[in-house]
Structure 1
């Protein structure tokens, strides 16, 4: 397999990256689906991942690898240089766009819900709070569908819930009538 020069490059952010908009659980839980939420300011992975790695390194330790979904980002670097260290970036089309997986030494794994940069402040804040709740059981793809307050409407329609349930192995009973034989 011939690799391009771009594939072999280590990308480095040439300007000061923005402060990461990140909210993490206080302590990692083995029962939680997510370890927090991340709201990037753009779709430039070099700038955004540099700020994310810097913030996570300060809170959780050394970061070695990041896994992302390629369709959600403008370009796809394989390595990023952050503070003299190289972080490998893997692009997986099977990974949801709303999830980033960060790994490091000694079984360090951080699963973060990714909130799209164009999301409004109120919705993004609510999503990051939901993702950082201890022992949360909400999947990253569903985080934005959690209403920010009891008075707000659900952002997703019922059909979306049915589709998720069906693809996870559940079965929706379309006809609620009893299938038991009639007594005579």
Structure 2
């Protein structure tokens, strides 16, 4: 994929991005397939990622350093976004499912979220996000919106390969 200068620049978020529609498990679990669900309001990655980073930082704490997404699900493909004085790198992987976002950061922070398409009905989106936020649930949500199942431990999944490749492609920033 050829990236434009616009995609390579750091997009700085507005001081108060819109609230993210996010449902997280009460407490992270190593046995869980997903940590919750996220329902963006649009396909504008800059606005939606600013909202997501702000909400995750407020709810879970920690420093978010990287976000992995599938490019076909989004209109713009920023390489970096500036949120609250920090820069978050955004990686675009065609091998990643469009209904999954992986957030990583300092101190082994990793949050896997099911992504509900912006145009999804309220009932289906709510059911999908609730199913994704159940810590022991490894099923798919009913109603047509799938919740990807990717175990965190045991065998290595394609998403884990992408994280490993990203960490070794040019160094980890401290």
Q: Is contact 1:39–1:115 with CA below 8 Å preserved after alignment?
A: yes
Summarize deviations over 1:53-80 as a string: whole Å, max 9, x none. 0000112221110000000000101000
Alignment match, 1:67: 68
Q: Is contact 1:31–1:136 with CA below 8 Å preserved after alignment?
A: no
Q: CA deviation at 1:9?
A: 0.9
SS for the counterpart of 1:124 is helix
**C-alpha separation in 2, matches of 1:4 and 1:126:** 37
Q: Relative contact order: is structure 1 or structure 2 higher (C-alpha 8 Å, sep ≥ 6)?
A: 2
Q: CA deviation at 1:18?
A: 1.4
Q: In the TM superposition, what are the counterparts of 1:1-184 in structure 2 within 5 Å?
A: 4-14=4-14, 16-60=16-60, 61-138=62-139, 142-143=140-141, 146-147=142-143, 155=144
SS for the counterpart of 1:19 is coil
Unmatched segments (≥5 aa) in structure 2: 146-174
SS for the counterpart of 1:33 is coil
TM-score (norm 1): 0.73
Q: CA deviation at 1:15?
A: 7.3
Structure 1 residue runs of 4+, over 6 Å off? none
**C-alpha separation in 2, matches of 1:78 and 1:91:** 8
**C-alpha separation in 2, matches of 1:108 and 1:38:** 17
**C-alpha separation in 1, matches of 2:134 and 2:122:** 18
**C-alpha separation in 2, matches of 1:3 and 1:116:** 24
Question: What is the RMSD of the two structures over their aligned residues, measured on CA atoms?
Answer: 2.0
Q: CA deviation at 1:13?
A: 3.0
TM-score (norm 2): 0.77
| Structure label with greater radius of gyration | 1
Count of residue correspondences: 144
Alignment match, 2:155: none
Q: CA deviation at 1:6?
A: 2.6
